[in-house]
């Protein structure tokens, strides 16, 4: 291979852009790169889980988090929940299966100390930006992929929630990585099913958004009717199953608790859930609307415009296996957000970011075409990328 091989030059440019995006992302998170973490109830649960993985028993782990100095502010602000040992002990069961981030925090705790979870969260934020950038490069030219990645870096919902010791950033990063592997499998063949399987498996031990890419693969299997698409869906189901076998998922009890103002409700029936759900959904939408009016307009515009463009422009000649997969993920993501109608300051909506980013890139490409700009394609669409019959 010659030293002036254009392929090598292209790879080098991509790497330089990726490094530049990492630098910009770290600048965007500069306020969180030093100092103690700001603890949330979720963060304390993950910290307690990390202590358990280090050998502490559950009671001791909860006492060292919710009952100690880490939870002092929360006990003062919310004494009926975070300040109640019984409340913390009850909710801890819902965090048992989320192992990946606490394990990572445990590994770096000797160096990072109490910042370990926060440092892992910030690393997940950077990984999410790179994963979305990589996903976009599979379909769009470098300028468009870079522009949308920059929009994602400064997405307030992402930067704010990644600045807490939580699992949201890694959930997003793994979801985007899984979707990228899914696109590659549909385009280039079954050798990409193995990394897809791994991404789904790790995601299942990170967040509850695992079924978004799996459902998307099911949509692709039905629409494309190819062996690779069917294998993608089957392997996704297989990767998401072990966590269900190892850790029971009390869906009814979790929903009943969330619809009971997060107060323990172990006896809440499906009837209770059905009765409370419509009112809770209206309350959530009203709260989201107020949150947007109070300043979250950029995050809302990113998500709503991106999803609208994904479906509006991902038709006809643009209805490729990639757009089919992303549209299926978008539909599953909306269901995921609406499943638990609790205001989250657009935290749950982060699961929609990869699909919205893809839609924004489609919109950017259309604008470039209208302006008669020629954006260099990263790679030509393979025959498998042609619209299904």
What digits encode the pLDDT tens for the residues 13-42?
999 999 999 999 999 999 999 999 999 999
Confidence band of 5 (pLDDT split at 50, 70, 90): low
Close Cβ partners of 189 (under 8 Å, ≥ 6 residues apart): 228
What is the structure's pLDDT at 252?
Answer: 85
Q: Of 200, 119, 129, give the one whose Cα is nearest residue 158.
A: 129
The mean of the pLDDT values for the chain is 92
pLDDT tens digits for 205-252?
A: 999 999 999 999 999 999 999 999 999 999 999 999 999 999 876 788
Residue listed under structure tokens 């998401």: 240
Percentage of the chain modeled with pLDDT above 90 = 81
Question: What is the DSSP-derived secondary structure letter of residue 317?
Answer: G
CA–CA distance, 161 with 18 (Å, rounded to integer): 22
pLDDT tens digits for 172-188?
A: 999 999 999 999 999 99
CB-facing half-sphere around the CA of 340: CA atoms within 13 A:
21
306 touches 335 (CB < 8 A): no
Structure tokens at 121: 């969260």
Domain spans, the chain: 22-36+120-385
């Amino acid at each position: 291979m010659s030293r002036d091989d254009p392929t090598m030059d292209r790879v080098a440019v991509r790497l330089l852009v990726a490094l530049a995006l990492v630098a910009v992302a770290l600048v965007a998170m500069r306020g969180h790169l030093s100092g103690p973490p700001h603890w949330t109830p979720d963060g304390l649960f993950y910290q307690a889980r990390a202590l358990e993985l280090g050998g502490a028993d559950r009671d001791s782990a909860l006492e060292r988090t919710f009952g100690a100095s880490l939870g002092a502010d929360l006990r003062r602000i919310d004494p009926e929940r975070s300040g109640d040992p019984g409340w913390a002990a009850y909710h801890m069961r819902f965090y048992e299966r989320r192992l990946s981030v606490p394990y990572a925090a445990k590994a770096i705790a000797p160096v990072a100390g109490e910042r370990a979870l926060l440092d892992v969260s910030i690393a997940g934020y950077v990984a999410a930006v790179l994963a979305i950038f990589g996903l976009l490069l599979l379909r769009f030219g470098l300028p468009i992929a870079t522009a949308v990645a920059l929009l994602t870096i400064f997405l307030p919902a992402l930067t704010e929630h990644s600045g807490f010791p939580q699992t949201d950033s890694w959930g997003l990063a793994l979801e985007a990585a899984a979707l990228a592997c899914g696109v590659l499998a549909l385009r280039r063949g079954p050798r990409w099913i193995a990394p897809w399987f791994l991404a789904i498996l790790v995601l299942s031990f990170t967040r509850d958004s695992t079924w978004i890419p799996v459902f998307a693969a099911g949509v692709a299997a039905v629409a494309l009717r190819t062996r690779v698409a069917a294998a993608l869906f089957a392997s996704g189901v297989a990767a998401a199953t072990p966590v269900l076998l190892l850790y029971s998922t009390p869906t009814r009890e979790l929903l009943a608790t969330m619809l009971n103002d997060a107060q323990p409700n172990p006896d809440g029936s499906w009837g209770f859930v059905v009765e409370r759900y419509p009112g809770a959904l209206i309350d959530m939408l009203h709260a989201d609307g107020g949150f947007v009016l109070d300043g979250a307009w950029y995050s809302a515009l990113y998500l709503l415009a991106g999803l609208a463009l994904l479906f509006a422009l991902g038709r006809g000649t643009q209805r490729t296996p990639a757009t089919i997969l992303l549209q299926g993920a978008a539909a599953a993501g909306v269901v995921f957000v609406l499943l638990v109608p609790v205001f989250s300051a657009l935290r749950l909506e982060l699961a929609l970011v990869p699909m919205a980013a893809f839609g924004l890139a489609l919109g950017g490409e259309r604008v470039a075409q209208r302006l008669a700009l020629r954006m260099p394609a990263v790679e030509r669409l393979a025959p498998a990328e042609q619209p299904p019959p």
